Chain A
């Protein structure tokens, strides 16, 4: 992309360039992001040409574009960056951390300059002369005094260490044939964080208990390093990982091929052991393709994946190269409203299909066999189509996660802490709209972890913990929702401190509260237990905003903490904003939808359980708690034909931290509903957040639980 961009830009400036501005800003932003990512992942000692060239290309593209469009300040700054990077990639200078720092700062400065140009601002931007002179002095070979605070931020999981180019073709072809003939492979397996002896025994027993798996030998081990095992087996890496999964997680295991002589030595002993474990589709036939993977330190899962792709592609060298390049393949940019329209149309198709299916049920299968077969196919195809269309809006979490290494690096440096940042499950996909809205709350949680959670290095050593703290950010699908966890191994939260702080604030607390209830207290507005207010956090604004933002996305927040050992915040979100789990309720002849996430419980009441207060406000007692009752029949002025019938089912809903009880006629069921906007053609309706289309094509209104709760307060 970078080179193409260059070419288009060189096409003279005698015509109006403004039409290309937007493209330039987008590409420059992408290039700066990419550069930042590569800078952060850069290993200073062993930086290879590929990485340095990549960073250079980014700076070069931005410079070229900026010069063409006449943004001289950006061009000047990036030009200096380019000269420094050029000397680095030609190995005239050795990269060091102060260079990375200054390059990151310059990237930030370029970004803000670009943002000014994009907004059409006039006049001088933020001064860059200082940066320019610092880059110049670095490029001329001067080494400034190193900074006092050494910051170490690594993102190990996100960076698959790529096998160095050239290793792959060197593997002799003959070896592949020899090993595949008897199917025994000699492996070295390294398992990190395996400190307990009983786990080791359990692993060894696997090989003893499962006939034909092969044998295992533990190598001498010293505490703190990964355990190493020598294994002779006919099973594939994937099978081994599956077996190990009972005892250790996949991420801990690294499987590596041992040199060929050893494998051949052992070949005879267990030859012809028959079919390997598993189905043997992959490992037997293509000649144990794992041999082709010199997966030095790459995570095991990544290795296996790339091996499979190589087995499929005969051009192994090409495949290896593909694995080293950036994950994003060919993409197109499409306006979001086009995608939304597509989603709407498919939603429409699904409803039509449902109606057809319903109407065809009465038909005689013998007479209308072909029609019914067609309808079944239509059913399947619409489902597949809907799934694929919905997936267009889904983008991987890595978009959000990628901004944190940089933020933590700066933050840890400022606070003088040592933080190791680990991300898991970046490939997990989430609706674009949600991704944008979840970024701020997550940023807040990660900052909190770094600021309040992780202790100073000295305190950590005193507490017997490793000097470097770890913050883990993970995302995973669970059923119809996504769970994002922010975990740290810091000091955790103190139950007593929170309780006493809550009493100070005049909140209603008791010592009998469960831990979970106590942790929820920190979401109260203005609540902070931080001893010192820093410019990072501690002012007590924040957690309540986090909670509110996530609740507005129909999500929930849970906290788990253990004092001295760290804490974990789990955010659970629906996969998409467009689809919601709803509970349909009946009032009179009308159907309304309640967001399932706000429904706490429902029960049937007798009329005498409801007591009235003052001007007729009704209260109901649920397990020693009095809750206000809202009669939906009155709120929505439902007319009744049958005057005898009264609502007798109560649904407890919770929103914005309070609970109210809704009085309804019946509970009709739970279903996923597509949320439609009422305001696009009509206007805001009180107590209604949107509308949806039911299976029969009718419109049902979705209740705004937050508004209903607020209503009860007045």
Chain B
């Protein structure tokens, strides 16, 4: 059975793999298939007049990649840059972008029975970008539709809204 078929099958039964990461005390999960790689944080080149959460651009093996600090985007209290700070490089619809998070935890498979609908609460995250909640014992994951989140107008990553 090829890798593609395996994926298709797991999608069919609803089990998906999520990369989980931490922002402050909250734990988030994103579709692993959107993740290209994980790197350490290196200071990007600042871009003038960009929103504060866009840290700038870095050189990823010859490609210029914008870096978004999710902690600033989600109004976390502190956004420290230390040796644990990591950048998740995402490959979204032929565009590449990096997000800064406090730490990456692990990759988890979530079956449909572990998924909960997202409650209607006031938050800085656009509710359209939240798929739902994943509950695993004591842990609660906020599952993000990272593609929708990153291509949103308020992110300002694209010139043309798509």
Interface set of A (CB-CB < 8 Å, partner B): 344-345, 347-348, 351, 590, 635-638, 676-688, 691, 693, 697-701
Contacts and interface: CB of A to CB of B under 8 A. Distances in A.
Nearest to B47: A685
A699 B159 CA distance: 20
A681 B65 contact: yes
Contact of A699 (B59, B97, B156): B59
A161 to B, nearest CB: 48
Given A693-B59, A697-B59, A676 B158 contact: no
A347 B48 contact: no
B159 A637 contact: no
A680 B95 contact: yes
B63 A684 contact: no
Given A681-B97, A683-B158, A699 B62 contact: no
A661 to B, nearest CB: 19
A344 B56 CA distance: 21
B44 A681 contact: no
Given A348-B62, A681-B97, A698-B45, 12 more contacts: A345-B62, A348-B61, A351-B59, A351-B62, A636-B48, A679-B159, A681-B65, A681-B95, A682-B157, A685-B47, A699-B44, A701-B47
A677 B58 CA distance: 13
Contacts, number: 68
Contacts of A699: 44-45, 56-59, 64
Nearest to B98: A681
A344 B46 CA distance: 23
Given A681-B65, A681-B95, A635 B59 contact: no
B49 interface: yes
Interface in B45-81: 45-50, 56-59, 61-66
A698 B96 CA distance: 18
Contacts of B156: 683
Interface residues of B toward A: which range?
20 to 34
A681 B44 CA distance: 15
B159 A684 contact: yes
A87 to B, nearest CB: 56
Nearest to B43: A698
7 contacts: A676-B63, A676-B64, A681-B96, A683-B158, A686-B49, A693-B59, A699-B44
Contact of A683 (B56, B62, B65, B157): B157
A84 B96 CA distance: 59
Contacts of B57: 678, 682, 691, 699
Given A635-B48, A693-B59, A698-B45, A680 B64 contact: yes
A163 B49 CA distance: 68
Q: Which 9 A-B pairs have the closest CB atoms?
A: A636-B48, A683-B159, A348-B62, A699-B45, A682-B66, A693-B59, A691-B64, A344-B62, A681-B96
Interface string B149-162: 00000001111000
Contacts of A680: 63-64, 95
